[in-house]
Amino acid sequence: MRILVIGSGGREHAIAWKLSQSEKVGKIFCAPGNGGMKDIAELVDIKADDILGLLRFAKKNNIDLTVVGPEKPLVKGIVDIFEENGLKAFGPFKNVAMLEGSKVFSKNAMKRFNLATSDFKVFGEAAEAKKYLNKIGVPIVIKADGLASGKGVIIPKTIIEGEKAIDDIMTKKIFGDSGSRIILEGCLEGEEASILVFTDGKTIVPLKSSQDHKRIFDNDAGANTGGMGAYSPAPVVTELMLNEVIKNVFRPVIDGLREEGGVYKGILYAGLMITKDGPMVLEFNVRFGEPETQAILPRLKTDPLDIMLACVDGTLDNINVKWDDSPCISVVCASKGYPDEYEKGKQIFGLEEAGKIKDVIVFHAGTKNENGKIFTSGGRVLGVTALGDDIKSAKAKAYSAIDCIKFEGMQYRKDIGARAINRTT
């Protein structure tokens, strides 16, 4: 079969890498792809949100399945448009993709379906939001309504910081139109975890749990990022808790949306806070997580093509999804300055040496290939990933591989997986 993977990050590299292991896959294209994907996919110079350009390419090249990596094309309705043109695409339709496309839509859905989540209030004016902030005080969570590349959530430590965040989002428009409305919601305490499921709109099949590390520096210090690393499984998510989350989070949402006329197909991701009162929903994403995917997919034993086609066709109940018991860790190597303005064009050395380490895979994100040399081209550059007999050994392999890699200004966290190791020792 001929497959088109849309996107250019580490998530898309991991998806294409896993699909390349399927005996049923004959050819993989990736639009636009990155510098590390040329060995497994033909790169296509079409942006991920150029829906009509992607449609023309898929038709011309007889694509059998399109796998949509990032959220933006999903929110723009790429799956609807492809299906209208007789093409199969893995991902949710536009009306239900708003679970990520609008935090207001998402929080209102949580409320309608009686999910455990924090109290919230929506504001369309900065002055009203500041008035509420001064009344409620901190800690509080401030969220831009629309898509913001994983950076639209701010947790101010003081009222002054909170007022600045409101101004930045609503007045200065640092996230563009995504900041036309904001949410102020209660700040939950506990340990974060990510649970993703495959679904065809009826059947729900969980992926292995994972935990993301959002802050730029060790010990969860510094600015929020798109994610600096992840590990799977997350020990905080027990089998009992997983069953509870499927029953009380995923089932009400998927059934509720269907009853409202919105059949959800693809991946649904719940970002959870595990509190003393149990798991509570922080957010939904409508696609594979970044960087959780890099830590989860290496553990998948079942052919991913079979799973994805079953989600599209409504036959997921016929698939027996199997997993490797080996834990996996992925550590992000980022450019100097990330998550703010960052440097580009730095040559990367040591990738071949790192890739020779047993059970290590280096997923590219912000890279470009120029005449066989790899250079940085984004904020998050690489996801250095390793499987191990336990989380401790997986972590050791990943950081041994990082020791081989060099580029000017490279920064990475040293504590990815430490929390899991402490929990299991």
pLDDT of residue 362: 98
The domains found in the chain, sorted by start residue, are: 2-91 (3.40.50.20), 125-180 (3.30.1490.20), 191-318 (3.30.470.20), 328-424 (3.90.600.10)
**In Å, what is the CA distance from 70 to each residue of 5, 89, 183?**
10, 13, 23
**In Å, what is the CA distance from 243 to each residue of 40, 99, 199?**
36, 22, 15
Half-sphere exposure of 68 (CA within 13 A, CB side): 36
Q: Which residues of the chain have pLDDT under 50?
A: none
Tell me the C-alpha distance between 95 and 83, whole Å. Answer: 14
pLDDT of residue 291: 94
Whether 399 contacts 354, CB under 8 Å: no
10: closest CA among 393, 387, 385?
385
pLDDT of residue 226: 87
**In Å, what is the CA distance from 46 to each residue of 43, 65, 231, 325, 407?**
9, 17, 31, 37, 28
pLDDT of residue 279: 95
Collect all residues with Cβ–Cβ distance below 8 Å to 60 and sequence separation of at least 6: none
pLDDT of residue 421: 86
The DSSP 8-state label assigned to residue 290 in this structure reads: T
Whether 48 contacts 329, CB under 8 Å: no
Whether 76 contacts 146, CB under 8 Å: no
pLDDT of residue 327: 97
* Antiparallel, parallel or unpaired: β 191-199 and 211-212: unpaired
Helix intervals (H) in 168-325: 239-245, 251-259, 292-296, 304-313
Residues in the chain: 425
Q: Phi and psi (nearest 5°) for 332?
A: -85, 130
68: closest CA among 50, 45, 56?
50
pLDDT of residue 425: 61
304: closest CA among 293, 98, 239, 330?
293
The side-by-side arrangement of strands in the sheet containing 191-199 is 204-206, 191-199, 266-275, 278-285
pLDDT of residue 24: 97
pTM of the model: 0.95
pLDDT of residue 424: 67
CA 110 to chain centre: 20
